[in-house]
Amino acid sequence: MNSNKKQSSIFEFALVATILGIHLYAAFSDAYNFPNAWFMRDDAYYYFKVAQNISLGLGSTFDGINLTNGYHPLWMLVCIPIFTLARFDLILPLRILLMVMAALNAATAVLIYRLTKNTLSQAAAMLAAFFWAFNSYIHSTIYDPGLETPLAAFAVVFFLFNLSEFEKDWRTNELATRKVWGLAISATLVMFSRLDLVFLALLGGVWIILRGKPMRSLLPLDMLIIFGSMTSSVAMRTGIMQYNTTYAASAIQAVLLALIIKISALYFFGAYQHPRAKSILNTIRQTGLAITASTILTAALYILLAQMGMGKNFPRSAFVIDWGVSLLLILALRLTAWWFSPQKVETPITTPLTELGNNWKKWLAEGITYYGILGGALSLYMLYNKITFGTSSPVSGQVKRWWGTQIETVYESPASNWAEIFGISFQMSHNAWQPAFSLFHWVGELIYPLYPGPTTKDERFYISMLAFILLALLILFTNTRRAKRAFSNMALIPLAAGSGIQIFSYTTTAYGGIKEWYWISQMILITLAGATLLDLVLRPLQRKIKPARIAFNLAAIAAGFFLAYQFGFYVKSVMRYNYFPANRPYMEVLPYLEENTPPNSVIGITGGGNVAYFIHNRTIVNMDGLINSYEYFEALKRGEAPQYLKQHGVSIIFASPRLLTFPPYNGQFAPYLENYSEYGGKNLMYLLEEPKYKPEPAP
C-alpha cells in the first residue's frame, strides 16, 4: 500500500512539474505572443478589461460607461486581482494568468488521475491524466483562450472527486449533515464557474439524496429523455427552422410540465423500483401505463393553460410523437437497468407509497440542505444582478437567445439540423463530443477503401461513430459488474445526464452564438468514459498474463512522454523568444485607430475586447451587446441603438457597414453613419447626432 502511494506521489509530482515547466517556458516568451499566439479569443478580453476596470474602482463595466454582467462570476473574481497589475504593464497579467491556468490544468489532471485510480487500473488512470493534460484539442479549447473554462473544468472534476469520496463513505458510515454541506458548496462552485453547469449541480443532489435507491440512476437519465423527447417531437412536427422562430419557448414550457408529471407517474406506477423486483413483462406494463397516463395528463393540462392564456401556441400532435419516443427510450432504459442489476435483490421490496413514507423525512432534510445552499446562492446572485444591473441573469445569454430568434443573423445561428440539435455536427460550435470525433474522422479515413467515393466523408464518419458506440456497448454489457462499479464510483450517470441536458438547453431553445468551449463536461465525460472502456478491455489480460500490468504501465508512461513532447514542441514553436521587436504593436489595427481618432474618443466596435484592452487613451464600447448593459440590449431590440450610443458619448463607429445591415442590427445604424476611413474590411465612421434620412422601423 505504501509502495503504491509512493508511486502515485512520484507520478503526480512528475505530471505537475511537466505541465508547469512547459507553461513556464511560455510565460516568459515575447510579449507579442500573448495576444497573437495564446490569448487570441476576443471574448477573453471582455473578462480582462472588466477586471481591470473593477480594480480601478470603476465598477463592473467594460467601457467605464455602461454597467455589465455579461460574464461568469467565479472567473471574474480570479481575474480581478491579476489585472490590478494592468495599470503597470498590460502583458504582465497575461503572463501570470497563463501560469494560473497551468496550475488549474495540473490540478485537474491530478484529480482525474486520483478519481480514476480509485476505480480503474493504474495504466488507465495515467493515460486519462496524460490525455487531459496534453491533448491538443483540450488545450486549444479550454486552456488556450483565456476564458472561464480552466476553472470550470477543475470545478467539475473536483465535484466528481468529492462524489467519489462520498460514494465510499455512505456505504459504510451514516451520512453527516456537514458532508451534504460540503458537497453542496462544491456543486455551487461548479454552477458559478459556468452558469450552464447548473444542470450537473442539480443532478448531483439527486445522486446524493437518493443513494441506495434504483431511482438514483434512473431519474437523471429519465430527465434527459423527457427533455430531449418533448423538444424533438415538436421539432419533428414543425420543422427545425419554424421550431426556432416560433415554438421553442412553448416547447420548454411543455418540457417543464412533462418533467413534473411524467416523473411523478413513473414513481407511483412503480417504475423506479428495483429492476429485478418484478418480471420484464410487468416492467413493460407499468412503464407503458405511466407514460401513457402522464402524456394524456400533460397534454390536457397544457391545452387548459393555453386556453387560460398561460401557455403559448403548441402543435398538439407533438404530444403523440412524444408519447412514442419517450415510451421507447424509457423502456430501453428500464431493460438496460434490468441487465445491469444483480439477480439477487438485497433489500426488501416495498410499494412506492411505503418507500416514500419511510424515506420522505430524510430526503426532505437532505434536499433542503443541499438545494437550500445551491438555490440560495443562485437566488442571491440573481437578486444582486437585478438590483445592480437591472436584469437577474447575464445579459450576454439573453442577447444570444435573441439572436437565435433572428433570421439570417450575422452571428452563429441556432441549431438548424438534427446533428446540431444532438451536438454531433461537423460544425465546430455544435460539435459537443470532441475530441472523440477526431478519432471517428481518423477511422473514417481508414475505411475509405471499403466505402470509397468523393462525397462519402460524412457517411464514413457516422459509420465509424456507430461502430464505436456499438463496440462500447458490447464492452459494457459484457462487463456489467465492473462497468456498474465504475459508473457509480465516478458519478458518470449524473455527469452524462447533465452533459446531455446542457446540450439540449442550447440547441432546443433557439440559442444563437454557441461556442465550442461550452462543452467542458462533455470533454471530461469522454476522458473518464474512455479510461473506463480501456480498463474493461485491459483488465482480463492483466489477470491472465502476469507481466501485463507492468507492461501496460510502461506503455502508458511512454504514451505520456510522447503526448508531453508533442505539446511542449507546439508551445515552443508558437511562444517564441527574441523573435518579435519589443516595440511591435500588439495588434496591427491599434496604430491605425490611434492615428485616425482623437485622444479620449469613445469608439463603438461590434466586438472589441482585445482592442479595448490594448488601445491607449481611447474608450471602446461593445456594440453586439454581449458585454454591454441591459439598457443597451433593450435599445438594440427597439432599433434605438444609435441614439443610445450617442447619448452615452460614442462619436465614432469602427465596423463593417454591410454587417450592420443584417440582424441583429437590422440596418438601424445606416442613417446615422458617415464614413471617413477604411481598414481591413471595416470602416471608420462618424456617429451622427441626427439621421441623414428617416430610418426604417425595427422589425
- The secondary structure of 301-356, three-state, reads HHHHHHHCCCCCCCCCHHHHHHHHHHHHHHHHHHHHHHHHCCCCCCCCCCCHHHHH
Q: How confident is the model at residue 409, as a pLDDT?
A: 83
Q: Which residue has the cell 501570470?
A: 96
Q: What mean pLDDT is predicted for residues 275-285?
A: 86
Residues 6+ positions from 318 with CB-CB distance below 8 Å: 230, 233, 234, 236, 237, 238, 251, 254
- 81's enclosing H/E stretch is helix 73-83
pLDDT category, 443, cuts 50, 70, 90?
A: confident
Q: How confident is the model at residue 177, as a pLDDT?
A: 78
Let me know: does 110 contact 96? Beta carbons within 8 Å: no
Q: How far apart are the C-alpha atoms of 38 and 94, rounded to whole Å? A: 9
pLDDT category, 439, cuts 50, 70, 90?
A: confident
Q: Which residue has the cell 464510483?
A: 489
The secondary structure of the chain in percent helix, strand, coil, rounded to multiples of 5, reads 70, 5, 30
What residue spans of 118-247 are helical by DSSP H? 122-134, 136-138, 149-170, 177-193, 198-209, 215-238, 240-242
Q: What mean pLDDT is predicted for residues 494-511?
A: 95
* HSE value, Cβ hemisphere, 13 Å, CA-based, for 602: 16
3-state SS, 574-602, equals HCCCCCCCCCCCCCCHHHHHHHHCCCCCE
Q: How do residues 71-116 score in pLDDT, each as one tens digit?
A: 999 999 999 999 999 999 999 999 999 999 999 999 999 999 999 9
User: Is the model's pLDDT at 1 over the cut of 70?
Assistant: no
Q: How confident is the model at residue 278, as a pLDDT?
A: 81
| Global pTM exceeds 0.85 | yes
Q: How confident is the model at residue 695, as a pLDDT?
A: 67
Q: How confident is the model at residue 697, as a pLDDT?
A: 62
* HSE value, Cβ hemisphere, 13 Å, CA-based, for 494: 28
Compute the Cα dihedral for 504, 506, 512, 515 and give only its sign: negative
Q: How confident is the model at residue 544, as a pLDDT?
A: 67
Residues 6+ positions from 423 with CB-CB distance below 8 Å: 430, 431, 432, 433, 503, 507, 519, 522
Q: How far apart are the C-alpha atoms of 158 and 204, rounded to whole Å? A: 13
Q: How far apart are the C-alpha atoms of 649 and 632, rounded to whole Å? A: 13
Nine-digit cell string for 442 = 481518423
Q: How many helices (H) and strands (E) would you count in the chain?
A: 28, 5
Q: How confident is the model at residue 153, as a pLDDT?
A: 97
- 655's enclosing H/E stretch is strand 652-655
Of all residues in the chain, what percent carry a pLDDT higher than 90?
A: 73
Inter-CA distances, 73 with 95, 504, 632, 638, Å:
22, 23, 21, 28
Pairing of strands 673-679, 682-687: antiparallel
- Omega before 435 within 30 of 0, i.e. cis: yes
Let me know: does 199 contact 501? Beta carbons within 8 Å: yes
Q: What mean pLDDT is predicted for residues 219-234?
A: 96
Q: How confident is the model at residue 143, as a pLDDT?
A: 95
- 683's enclosing H/E stretch is strand 682-687
Inter-CA distances, 181 with 217, 370, 616, Å:
22, 6, 47
Q: How confident is the model at residue 169, as a pLDDT?
A: 84
Cα 213 to chain centroid distance, Å, stands at: 29
Residue 124 falls in which region: left (phi positive, over 0), alpha (psi -120 to 50) or beta: alpha
Highest-scoring range by mean pLDDT, 107-116, 275-284, 433-442, 544-553: 107-116
Q: What mean pLDDT is predicted for residues 558-568?
A: 95
Q: What mean pLDDT is predicted for residues 408-425?
A: 88
User: Is the model's pLDDT at 456 over the cut of 90?
Assistant: no
Q: How far apart are the C-alpha atoms of 560 and 139, rounded to whole Å? A: 15
Q: How confident is the model at residue 129, as a pLDDT?
A: 96
- Domain residue extents for the chain: 2-30+69-214+375-574, 220-340, 589-687
User: Is the model's pLDDT at 465 over the cut of 60?
Assistant: yes
CB atoms within 10 A of CB 478: 9
675 bridge partner residues: 685
653 bridge partner residues: 604, 685
Of all residues in the chain, what percent carry a pLDDT higher than 70?
A: 97
Mean pLDDT of the chain: 91
Let me know: does 601 contact 618? Beta carbons within 8 Å: yes
Q: How far apart are the C-alpha atoms of 287 and 324, rounded to whole Å? A: 12
Q: How confident is the model at residue 373, as a pLDDT?
A: 96
pLDDT category, 408, cuts 50, 70, 90?
A: confident
**Terminal Cα-to-Cα distance of the chain (whole angstroms):** 70
CB atoms within 10 A of CB 338: 16
Q: Which residue has the cell 456489467?
A: 480
DSSP state of 279: -
CB atoms within 10 A of CB 259: 16
Q: What mean pLDDT is predicted for residues 424-441?
A: 85
User: Is the model's pLDDT at 154 over the cut of 90?
Assistant: yes
Pairing of strands 652-655, 673-679: unpaired
DSSP state of 449: G
Q: What mean pLDDT is predicted for residues 310-333?
A: 89
DSSP state of 621: E
Let me know: does 23 contact 98? Beta carbons within 8 Å: yes
Residues 6+ positions from 569 with CB-CB distance below 8 Å: none
pLDDT category, 631, cuts 50, 70, 90?
A: very high
User: Is the model's pLDDT at 124 over the cut of 60?
Assistant: yes
User: Is the model's pLDDT at 197 over the cut of 90?
Assistant: yes
Inter-CA distances, 330 with 230, 232, 339, Å:
13, 15, 14
Q: How far apart are the C-alpha atoms of 413 and 400, rounded to whole Å? A: 9
Choice between 673 and 410, residue whose per-residue pLDDT is larger: 673
Nine-digit cell string for 637 = 431590440
